[in-house]
Amino acid sequence: MTAPSIPVIAIDGPSASGKGTVAALVAQALGFHYLDSGAIYRVTAHAAQRAGLSLDDEAALAELARGLDLRFEGGEVFLDGEAVGDAIRTEEAGRAASKIAAMPVLRAALLERQRAFRQAPGLVTDGRDMGSVVFPDATVKIFLTASREARAQRRYKQLIEKGFDANLAALFQDLSERDARDAARAAAPLKQTADAALLDTTGLTISQAVERVLQGYRTASAA
């Protein structure tokens, strides 16, 4: 099966919208591969800080990104064979990832690495520009969002359950700033493309959101 014929479900949306959880469950339901594109930027920022690189040095970050020993396996993210899932899920890691994700040279360095995840029988991927830039020919494109209040509540609950300190008001402010930064950046800004279906999960359960995406894929596959 050639890459263009391998189905891709691209789920884009703002931070804490639930797209990662939904995408992973959709991939599991279909037996597809899963790519968390945001984790790639988080891992890059984590690796840079571990190597003592400045997060303002775009050329050095791009060079680092090209050589990352990165893999996703069993719901965990591995860097150089070490599980780093917890380390890259902090709010600090999220802010660092959002900062470097605005760098065009770094985004270009990671583009082919992301596209290499497109393998049979199919791929479900989530991020900010999966449908607009990375997989513009995706079988299904979803723009998954929720109210900022709902997203802050979800992130707060997620952090507390993982044992991290969290402040709801600070999370709301951080999401507001991250939304503005992601939408305004020159390289692959966060936006709903004309061919992407809007899915607002504010009033939906996770299972309901997953079913909406699966229904969209079934409809597209039958067309």
Predicted pLDDT at 163: 87
List the domain range (segments joined by +) for residue 51: 3-222
Identify the residue whose tokens are 């797209």: 19
- At 15, the pLDDT band (50, 70, 90 cuts) reads confident
Average pLDDT estimate for 84-100: 88
State pLDDT tens for residues 146-174. 999 999 999 899 889 988 889 999 999 99
Residue 196 · residue 141 · CB < 8 Å: yes
In CATH, what number is assigned to the domain containing residue 53?
Answer: 3.40.50.300
| Burial (0-12, 13-18, 19+ Cβ within 10 Å), 91 | middle
What pLDDT, on a 0 to 100 scale, did the predictor assign at position 191? 86
* CA distances for 182 relative to 16, 138, 140, 151, 187, angstroms: 13, 21, 22, 16, 9
pTM of the complete model: 0.86
Q: State the total domains in the chain.
A: 1
